Amino acid sequence: MRFSAPGVLFAILGGAALLAPFMTLAANRIVAGDAVPIWSVVPPGQTALGLAAVLLGLALGVPAGRAGLRMVGPLIGLAGLLWLVIQGAPALLDGAGDYARVSPAAGFWCLLVIFALLMADAITALKPGPYQRALLLAAAVAALAAVLGSGVLSPLSVLQEFSARRDAFASEATRHLWLAFGSLGMAGIIGFPLGVLGHRKPALRGAILPVLSFLQTIPSLAMFGLMIPLLSWVGATVPGARSLGIAGIGFAPVFVALVLYSLLPVVGNTVAGLAATPAQALDAARGIGMTAGQRLWRVELPIGLPVILTGLRIVLVQNIGLAVIAGLIGGGGFGTFVFQGLNQTATDLILLGALPTVALALTAAIVMDILVDLTRRLPKETP
């Protein structure tokens, strides 16, 4: 039997994670709490079932050449983790007090990441097409929504934090989406024409790209710091600016900073995508009488679209993560919960902001990868 090197590595790491604390029980939401090993979260009879599923999930990732079996393994392992948490949280809270909180600990998070990586490795081996990946993503999102919507995880502290801030969470989620996708859209509006001009005029390209590269090197906190006095002056001196929400703190400085960070990938990938058009295709387009605008929209853009979309993917994932820092200067978003949690030393409040950010970034990356793959396949599927 051949063994999968990643599967063996993840099995070893998973075995080590089983020795780490699986859950924590705290007297309230602020204190650190006591570590609980995986074999003590519930009575031994119930622990055995979940632990067996976790071990089986790790073992099924070891054989090489059986992608389908390696795909089933992480699903079994995740089911075992879910079982242990669902059974363990109420059991640990029983008699612990009205303010007691229970949370997944390092062992749980390590195993969750390991099974996610095992699943990613199995999916890579299966080589699914873009439509199959879209179905897998939809199934994963639907399963997660079903688990969260069922209420079986409601005893966990992070969901207790969500329950206490449900309205605020919806508001900050909307603000985070506006920051990430709005800055992407604005960067596209500004960056795509600059990329086209840079492709047409090398001298302009040589002037634009170094400036955008310099902006990319400025640390995010420093960039936000630069935006605060600048937009404070604009809000104070330009008539009507403050009524539009332009001020030194809040949404505006974060939005402007994210747009500036986004311009280099958009402009650079637009230039690279348009430059990827074969000379023979351009000569043929000129031979049939196409104008420069027609060559751009009918020849250069369709060929360069995968590279351009790759730039947009970089921007979107980057901005979803950077938007967290908006919470530090009153810009809203999931970072509001992260920094509130840091101030209160409340780990689960930090997770309330961090976990949706990670999930949103992963989902956006997968969706953009699917779109890139589809644009690459279009020419092959066109009769």
Q: What is the pLDDT of residue 377?
A: 53
Q: What is the pLDDT of residue 175?
A: 93
At 42-56, the pLDDT tens digits run 777 778 888 999 999
At 183-228, the pLDDT tens digits run 999 999 999 999 999 998 888 888 999 999 998 888 877 887 888 8
Q: What is the pLDDT of residue 33?
A: 82
The DSSP bridge pattern shows strands 34-36 and 23-26 to be antiparallel
Would you tell me how many other CB atoms lie within 10 Å of the CB of residue 72?
17
Average pLDDT over all residues of the chain:
88
Average pLDDT over every residue of 114-138: 91
Residue (of 377, 372, 239) closest to 314 by Cα position? 372
CA separation for the pair 284, 280 (Å, rounded): 6
- Please say whether the dihedral angle defined by the alpha carbons of residues 168, 173, 157 and 45, taken in this order, is positive or negative: positive
Give me the percent of the chain exceeding a pLDDT of 90.
Answer: 50
| 344 or 221, greater pLDDT | 344
CA separation for the pair 115, 71 (Å, rounded): 10
Q: What tokens were used for 320?
A: 């979803």
Please enumerate in sequence order all residues whose Cβ is within 8 A of that of 51, keeping only pairs 6 or more positions apart, or say none.
18, 38, 39, 80, 84
Q: Are 93 and 14 in contact (CB under 8 A)?
A: no
Q: Give the range among 94-98, 131-135, 284-288, 351-355 with minimum mean pLDDT.
A: 94-98
CA separation for the pair 229, 245 (Å, rounded): 15
- Above 80 in pLDDT, residue 242? no
Number of residues written out for the chain: 383
Going edge to edge, which strands form the sheet with 23-26?
Answer: 34-36, 23-26, 101-104
Q: What is the pLDDT of residue 234?
A: 80
Average pLDDT over every residue of 155-162: 92
Place of tokens 């993503």: 137
Residue 24 bridge partners (DSSP): 35, 103
Residue 34 bridge partners (DSSP): 25
Q: What is the pLDDT of residue 353?
A: 93
Q: What tokens were used for 176?
A: 């985070």
| All domains in the chain, ordered by first residue | 5-151 (1.20.140), 166-381 (1.10.3720.10)
At 5-45, the pLDDT tens digits run 888 999 999 999 999 999 999 888 888 888 889 888 877 77
* Helix (H), strand (E) counts: the chain: 15, 3
Q: What is the pLDDT of residue 1?
A: 64
| pLDDT grade for 380, boundaries at 50, 70 and 90 | very low
Over its C-alpha atoms, the chain yields an Rg (Å, rounded) of 25
At 269-325, the pLDDT tens digits run 999 999 888 888 888 888 888 888 888 888 888 899 999 999 999 999 999 999 998
Q: What is the pLDDT of residue 63?
A: 84
Q: What is the pLDDT of residue 379?
A: 47
Q: What is the pLDDT of residue 376?
A: 79
- Above 60 in pLDDT, residue 178? yes
Please enumerate in sequence order all residues whose Cβ is within 8 A of that of 287, keeping only pairs 6 or more positions apart, or say none.
none
Q: What is the pLDDT of residue 113?
A: 94
At 63-88, the pLDDT tens digits run 877 777 788 999 999 999 999 999 98
pTM (predicted TM-score): 0.88
Average pLDDT over every residue of 372-380: 70
- Above 80 in pLDDT, residue 243? no
CA separation, residue 259 to residues 94, 100, 185, 227, 308 (Å)? 50, 43, 9, 12, 16
Place of tokens 């790759």: 310
Q: What is the pLDDT of residue 244?
A: 67
Place of tokens 């393994």: 73
